[in-house]
């Protein structure tokens, strides 16, 4: 996955990149549960791995934003950016929860 350079993007494009990557991760997390329910633990693990890569891309964009602001360039707070941040954080929470659930399910399987 190519690294996104936020210096080349508008504020709206940055928000949409966050939504894109976190949305992709969210879909993969949900698919992982489905795969596990269909007795495909390896497929579930692969989807969680891919979701982590998507989240890594989103976190990189987020880090660039924080760094830019720390260097003195203020970030314009828009409803779109708030939505993107909420989307990212809820996906991270969902990924952590699903990952723990799958580990619990695997440990109780006989």
- DSSP-H helix ranges across 5-110: 11-37, 41-70, 79-108
| 11 alpha-carbon distance from chain centroid | 19
For residues 4 and 107, what is the distance between their CA atoms, to the nearest angstrom?
38
Q: Identify the residue whose tokens are 């998507």.
A: 54
* Active centre residues (catalytic): 83
């Amino acid at each position: 996955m190519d690294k996104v350079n936020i210096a080349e993007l508008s504020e709206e494009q940055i928000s949409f990149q966050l939504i894109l990557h976190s949305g992709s991760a969210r879909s993969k997390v949900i698919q992982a549960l489905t795969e596990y329910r269909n007795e495909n633990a390896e497929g579930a693990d692969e989807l969680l791995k891919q979701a982590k890569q998507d989240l890594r891309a989103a976190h990189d964009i987020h880090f660039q934003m924080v760094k830019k602001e720390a260097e003195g360039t203020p970030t314009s707070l828009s409803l779109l950016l708030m939505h993107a941040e909420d989307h990212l954080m809820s996906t991270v929470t969902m990924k952590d929860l699903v990952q723990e659930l799958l580990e619990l399910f695997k440990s109780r399987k006989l």
